[in-house]
Structure 1
């Protein structure tokens, strides 16, 4: 009996001291290229944080060069309706004009490994241009990240139908711009990662967001969270939809007319 109690105590102690089960997280910072000071602070964040650069910003090209030289993943933060500006995509624009705007945006953001949508709640719900975009990204060997600014988005579903490397965002960090709220969203991201094995988070270069991330990213490992690049996350997820975005790995908004 004494031996069994001793064995049980050792087993319980071992469980208490065991490291948390590993889960994966990727973090994207959007809206870069507007401020050299904020861009620099973002680039100084520890770990493989992805830099999403807007094409219609004064420092887009210079910062893309800096980020690439620093070994960070660069993606094009593509403006989509209701965003405005010379690169923005809007419903009703002809495909050849959408192509011209995409070409011009990629010139402004060199070294882009993929794109994600800036705004886009209306545009990402348009199936025809999203289908065209995914085919174009496939041709260019670029990946797509659906920022999921609307539940009506079909972008990730079209990427999946084509077999394009893609991801969907799980958590926005800073809809509320306070340190407390952002820290809370980061904790939510950790919970999501533990529950489903991975989480993709998107934030912005607000001073509060950068402050929280600079403090908390070094603590992720002790919480069983491994911060990984977007390409690693794409490989980890294998183009599958997460439970909040679909069923049995397929997106809820997949076209009923297309087999996947």
Structure 2
């Protein structure tokens, strides 16, 4: 028996597809990033097999980071560095109060572990992305390196995107987290929220993780996006589409932190 929530989601997806076919609306774009890659060859391979321009965010302190970055790049996927930031730990992690010189060395080391990276997004970072001096330095450094930035918006106090916008650095900000709750129904609901948001504001950036449930939902639903009036595009295309402008929901540099946000899902 189909669970009531699953049945309702199926009906909603069906209605949206029918509406898109009957009356094409203004174009709506979506970009999807999968974080925390490089830890498992099996999960990395499943993520790489997702259809369309899904972005691979690879952690530097993982056993398969370098090999998978090259593999993903060869497959034509956008590769970005998933940079550990406080409260993340490890040899690459950024923490408040650490001298800029040390932060710079950790960034250098992290980028060397993830070859072919064309941008950076923060892993965790709920405290670090609120640090004005460090974020201002990071955005200037990324501009110097011709890399873009994705603010994962793991904190309501983030100033990262604001500093990127101030200097004209290519950047976007996350709109929807797919899998803070790992059930199929919850992930389907979040994807639907992303579709609704993309159709309302013209675009949406979604972040998920290589959980089996997330990959199953995306493998099934991504091929259906076009019939629902949604075009899946790369992050580079999304940056061009948004023109570095802050979305209405992000203005004021306040971001609603995901409910129940913990280190494993940032």
Q: What TM-score, normalized to structure 1?
A: 0.89
What is the Cα deviation at residue 252 of structure 1?
5.8
In the alignment, does 2:215 pair up with 1:210? yes
> In the TM superposition, what are the counterparts of 1:171-210 in structure 2 within 5 Å?
171-210=176-215
Equivalent in 68, 72, 86 of residue 67 of structure 1: 72
Change (3 A) 1:108 1:243: same
The residue number in structure 2 matching 1:169 is 174
The residue aligned with 2:7 is none
The structure 1 segments of at least 4 consecutive aligned residues displaced by more than 4 Å after TM superposition are none
Mark the runs of 5 or more structure 2 residues left unpaired by the alignment: 1-19, 256-266
Q: Does 1:109 pair with 2:84?
A: no
Which segments of 5 or more consecutive residues in structure 1 lack a partner in the other structure? 1-14, 254-260
Question: Equivalences for 1:134-149 in 2 at 5 Å?
Answer: 134-149=139-154
SS at structure 2 position matched to 1:67: helix
- Residue in structure 2 matched with residue 58 of structure 1 by the alignment: 63
1:136-161 CA distances to partner (integer Å, 9 max, x unpaired)? 00000000000000010000000000
Counterpart Cα distance in 2 of 1:112 and 1:214: 24
Indicate conservation of the 8 Å contact 1:20/1:223, yes or no. no
Q: Which residue of 2 aligns with 1:245?
A: 250
Determine if the alignment matches structure 1 residue 224 to structure 2 residue 234: no
In structure 1, the residue matched to 2:26 is: 21
Query: Retained in 1: the 8 A contact 2:21–2:228?
Result: no
Using the alignment, how far apart are the partners of 2:213 and 2:26 within structure 1? 29
Distance 1:207 1:131 in 2: 36
Number of residue equivalences? 237
Matched-pair contact (CA < 8 Å) for 2:21–2:227:
no
Q: CA deviation at 1:22?
A: 2.0
With the length of structure 2 as denominator, give the TM-score of the two structures: 0.87
